[in-house]
Amino acid sequence: MKRVIVIGAGASGLMAAYAAAKNGNDVLVIEKNEKAGKKIYITGKGRCNLTNDIAADDFLENVVSNRKFLTGCIHRYPPSWLIRFCEEGGLRLKTERGDRVFPLSDKASDVTACLLRYANSVGVRFQFHEKVEKIVVSDCIVSGIITDKGRYEADAVIVCTGGLSYPATGSTGDGLRFAESLGIGTVKCMPALCGIVCDMRALKDLQGLSLKNVRVSAYEGSKCVSSFFGEMLFTHFGISGPTVLSMSSEINRRPVEKLKILIDLKPALDDETLDRRILRDFDKYSNKQLANALIELLPKKLIAPVLASARCAPGKLVHSVTKEERARILQILKGFPLQPISLRPIEEGIVTAGGVDVGEIDPKNMQSKKVKGLYFCGEVLDVDAYTGGFNLQIAFSTGYAAGNSIL
């Protein structure tokens, strides 16, 4: 029997603790908050999208950073494993649009309750309101931890402290500091799954407008570096919504202010078809002002910005619009330009990109290659994925892989 300390009672920590304790180890979870699963509680808008019910290979397509590192772990502990685990633990689930899995109750707290039932069933002990400050290592072997309340001996320590996002839930980057203090490499942390700040000086009126079925693309020079189809939203700072969140994860290692974002407002129509469509509307409204001829094609709030970008006077009568002006309108409809300035701060990201360098970690069991008995799981690692339940599944799978490897 080994003395195992798990730092953090989030998704990965609760799973790691159960997996280690069911193997007969003595497991103590130390959590600085007053309770377990503070972040789980706010996931999926309080409903917790805990995984995505797809095969492991398809799952891995949704991993943005270090897919290869996660391949073995996700194949061993795929969504089907997690779904069975939850249901056997009394948590009934449902699958929604996009294969997203939620508790049938729509309550994120039921996910934490299920994990706590598992942990309690195998004797996991919890210490709340206690903050780990240091990991003690001698001769490259972990020997214990020091907290703000005392010192504990351990044969294994599993670091499940999360990243830097939503620090009010407890994830304040402590695990990264532990790694750095032990000479374990880390990769610079970046916000991921976050909004993008854009120059909105001329676009203030767009705030609150949400668009469906658009294609949002980011360009570095003439090269498209990220492109997503779906929904987006204009906000007070710039843009957000599903397509934009995904895009942020792909552009966060680039100089965002040097990119250009183009929104294809009519992605289903090629240039020729769209031009025919515009001509049809222009015929219908030939004696009206240009702004009034676009009401069937665009949401009202977008008409003025589109015409301004196309350098066309909104009051001009449609029958006097030139061919060049029509071509410019078409061009803007296929690529409404936005100037990104930055990503929103890391604290606002749904997840953190960057973290403990996976080159330092054994992908089979999440153990440090430098320090024996020291493990890193979940968001503290340099792994991140798109929205859809992927990030929690990564936390659960890596947590289980670590805990279960301690025999």
Q: Report the interface residues with ligand FAD, using CB under 6 A.
A: 7-13, 30-33, 38-39, 42-44, 48-49, 131-132, 160-162, 165-166, 169-171, 174, 350-351, 378-379, 389-392, 395
Q: What is the C-alpha separation between 102 and 193, in angstroms, rounded? A: 20
Pairing verdict, β 3-7 and 156-159? parallel
Pairing verdict, β 132-138 and 336-338? unpaired
Residue 167 C-beta: closest distance to ligand FAD, Å: 9
Burial class (CB in 10 A: 0-12, 13-18, 19+), 236: exposed
Residue 13 C-beta: closest distance to ligand FAD, Å: 5
Helices (H) and strands (E) in the chain, counts: 13, 22
Residue 165 C-beta: closest distance to ligand FAD, Å: 5
Which residue has 């069933």 as its token pair?
A: 121
Residue 345 C-beta: closest distance to ligand FAD, Å: 13
Q: Are 170 and 178 in contact (CB under 8 A)?
A: no
Which residue has 């703000």 as its token pair?
A: 148
Q: Of 244 and 261, which has the nearer Cβ to ligand FAD? A: 244
Q: Of 309 and 352, which has the nearer Cβ to ligand FAD? A: 352
Q: Residue 94 pairs with which residues in a beta bridge?
A: 102
Residue 180 C-beta: closest distance to ligand FAD, Å: 14
Residue 7 C-beta: closest distance to ligand FAD, Å: 5
Question: Which one, of 229, 264, 265, lies nearest residue 247 by Cα?
Answer: 229
DSSP classification of residue 258: G
Q: Of 48 and 402, which has the nearer Cβ to ligand FAD? A: 48
Q: Are 330 and 324 in contact (CB under 8 A)?
A: no
Q: What is the C-alpha separation between 239 and 32, in angstroms, rounded? A: 34
Residue 146 C-beta: closest distance to ligand FAD, Å: 11
